[in-house]
Amino acid sequence: MFGLQSIEGIEAVAASLRTLKLGGTRKPIKDLQRLTACSHLETVVLERHTTAVKALPARTIRSLTLCYQVRSDLRSLSRFGQLRKLAFFHGGVQSLAGLLDLRLDSLELDGLGTPPRLDEISNATALRQLVLWRLPRVAQLPDLSKLKRLVS
């Protein structure tokens, strides 16, 4: 659906929609505010569509995957009170500031060209899963000794 220009019609399934995967498109989709009608969304994968995050219903999202997006930090995600899984693929986050405000069980950083300093992870004691994958510029792992809940 690389040519998708509008998500008009999503209202027809908005009340029952639990998972949304919105791939990259040739041009930005202009009517992403329609996502606010998706009041039961739990799992969201967004490829590019950086403005869509603002339109997501904050109280129900439990899993958020952001692909080919760059964020300055995680503070803007703190409104997602139920968020438990966060993943970044081939984009990135410049700082993990705000990580501790998210009560994440799972954090995945994959293929980030310039990854953030990972020190903040040391204090994210609620994490049960941590995936650091394809991070060529990371020279040292953070201290993981406080992460007692991590499972392999």
| Mean pLDDT, residues 41-61 | 90
Q: Is the pTM of this model over 0.75?
A: yes
Residue 3: per-residue pLDDT? 59
Measured between alpha carbons, how far is 11 from 16 in angstroms, rounded to an integer? 10
Share in percent of the chain as helix, strand, coil (round to 5): 15, 20, 60
Question: pLDDT for 7-38, tens place per residue?
Answer: 777 778 888 999 988 888 777 777 788 888 88
Rounded Cα gap, residues 137 and 139, in angstroms: 6
Q: Which amino acid is at 1?
A: M
Beta-carbon contacts of 56 under 8 Å, excluding residues fewer than 6 positions away, are 35, 36, 38, 41, 44, 64, 80
Residue 129 in tokens: 């899963």
Under DSSP, the state recorded for 144 is -
d(CA 50, CA 65): 12
- If you count them, how many residues does the chain have? 152
Give the H or E element holding residue 64. strand 63-67
Q: What is the pLDDT of residues 56-113, one digit of tens each?
A: 989 999 999 999 988 999 999 999 999 999 999 998 899 999 999 999 999 999 999 8
**What average pLDDT score do residues 109-133 get?**
93
Beta carbons of 79 and 60 less than 8 angstroms apart:
no
List Cβ neighbours of 140 (8 Å cut-off, separation of 6 or more). none
